[in-house]
């Protein structure tokens, strides 16, 4: 089936999204775990929209930090200075932190980017008159640039959800801020996250982990992430064939947009087939994405080496060092929100007294933490 008109496609997707029983506020049981009905809906559909997780005041902090980072972003791809001629914030760190794209383009589709996991090219559009030559698409390593992101990373209820999905010994993946500027935002082609375990005989719906997606602004069908529900539990999808069977159209009829309000946090399985279209709307989307794995999915496994081009075996030491950031974030949040009961992260329990958030640990532990990300 091919849907010919974008407006019809977007309207139908919106209707289908709201008809799914996978959204609502966080509900925690008396014994401190995520409500089993929420967990069941997540495992069935591959995603769940947790409504109103982040207070309006905390959303305000996230927005302010994001705007500050954008004001200090490189003026363009490869620039060492920002738009005011100051040293760009990215120059403080070892790993490139800003990815740019041409407005309304699909920079990764049908390329070798990240192992070739974006097999088809999305529909691209001509940028409107006066558009910039490049726009920011992604900001990686945001915890070291945005204290509010670090505080959210230590959110006790979200970390409890990570435990309930991946076990008490869960470990980090990576984090990024995805940016879809109004009128200019670039596309991200249909794909599934994860490269490592597709041929693993023990592959299941949770093998490649999940991401939290925290929304700084409301989303709509034009700027949102699009998802094919229940596609996370069917193995590796042949996306080229799926598009071919849809008469070559990237408007897949089973897809739905991830519709959220500012402060909502979606739990999204990384194995879902998903994409985003060029954002030609009047509304920006800014999504803070941070993910977690089962320890068994990464320990002793060959994954991305962010220090060098290539792969590396993730040993216990690397996993331990990267997991320290979870405990550091827990303490940072406790200092910011002392009225909350902090999450107890068992893998770092014996070191919690050493992993206190301060300007010293900002330099000694947090800086360049993303060089140790665990990407599979």
pLDDT tens digits for range 268-315: 999 999 999 999 999 999 999 999 999 999 999 999 998 887 899 999
Q: Kindly report the average pLDDT of the chain as a whole number.
A: 96
Domain 6-295's class? mainly beta
Which residue, 169, 276, 260, is CA-closest to 213? Answer: 260
Domain ranges of the chain: 6-295
Please compute the mean of the pLDDT values over residues 329-354 and round it to a whole number: 98
pLDDT at 212 over 50: yes
Question: Is the pLDDT score of 238 beyond 60?
Answer: yes
Q: How many residues does the chain have?
A: 376
Give percent of the chain above pLDDT 70.
Answer: 99
The average pLDDT across 308-329 equals 95
Question: Across residues 209-233, what is the average pLDDT?
Answer: 98
- 130-164 confidence digits (pLDDT tens): 999 999 999 999 999 999 999 999 999 999 999 99
Give residue 113's pLDDT: 86
Question: In the chain, count of helices (H) and strands (E)?
Answer: 10, 14
Question: Confidence class of residue 5 from pLDDT cuts 50, 70 and 90?
Answer: confident
Query: Is the distance from CB of 357 to CB of 335 less than 8 angstroms?
Result: yes
Residue 3 pLDDT class (50, 70, 90 cuts): very low
pLDDT for 307 equals 84
Average pLDDT (50-58) is: 98
**Cβ density class 75-106: b for 16+ within 10 Å, e for less:** eeeebeebeeeeebbbeebeeebbbbbbbbbb
What's the pLDDT at 4? 52
Mean pLDDT, residues 80-109: 97
Using pLDDT thresholds of 50, 70 and 90, give the confidence band for residue 187. very high
Cα–Cα nearest to 326, from 352, 306, 303, 305: 352
């Amino acid at each position: 089936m091919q849907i010919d008109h974008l407006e019809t496609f977007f309207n139908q997707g919106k209707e289908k999204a709201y008809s799914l029983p996978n959204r609502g506020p966080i509900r925690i049981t008396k014994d401190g775990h995520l409500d089993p009905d929420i967990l069941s809906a997540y495992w069935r559909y591959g995603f769940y929209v947790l409504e109103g997780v982040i207070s309006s005041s905390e959303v305000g902090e996230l927005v302010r930090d994001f705007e500050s980072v954008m004001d200090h972003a490189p003026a363009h791809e490869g620039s060492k200075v920002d738009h005011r001629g100051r040293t760009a914030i990215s120059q403080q760190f070892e790993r490139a932190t800003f990815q740019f794209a041409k407005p309304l383009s699909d920079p990764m589709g049908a390329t070798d980017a990240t192992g070739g996991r974006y097999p088809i090219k999305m529909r691209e559009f001509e940028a409107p008159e006066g558009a910039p030559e490049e726009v920011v698409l992604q900001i990686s390593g945001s915890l070291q640039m945005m204290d509010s992101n670090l505080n959210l990373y230590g959110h006790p209820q979200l970390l409890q959800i990570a435990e309930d999905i991946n076990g008490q010994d869960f470990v980090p993946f990576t984090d990024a801020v995805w940016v879809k500027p109004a009128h200019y935002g670039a596309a991200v082609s249909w794909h599934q996250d994860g490269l490592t375990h597709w041929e693993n005989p023990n592959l299941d719906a949770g093998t490649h982990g999940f991401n939290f997606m925290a929304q700084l602004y409301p989303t709509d069908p034009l700027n949102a992430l699009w998802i094919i529900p229940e596609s996370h539990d069917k193995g590796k999808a042949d996306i080229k064939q799926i598009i071919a069977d849809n008469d070559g159209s990237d408007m897949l009829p089973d897809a739905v947009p991830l519709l959220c309000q500012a402060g909502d946090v979606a739990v999204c399985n990384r194995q879902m087939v998903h994409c985003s279209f060029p954002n030609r709307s009047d509304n920006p989307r800014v999504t803070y994405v941070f993910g977690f794995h089962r320890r068994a999915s990464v320990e002793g496994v060959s994954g991305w080496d962010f220090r060098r081009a290539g792969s590396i075996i993730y040993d216990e030491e690397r996993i331990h060092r990267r997991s320290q950031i979870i405990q550091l974030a827990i303490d940072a949040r406790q200092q910011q929100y002392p009225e909350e009961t902090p999450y107890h992260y068992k893998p770092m329990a014996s070191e919690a007294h050493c992993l206190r958030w301060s300007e010293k640990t900002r330099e000694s532990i947090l800086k360049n933490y993303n060089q140790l990300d665990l990407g599979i």
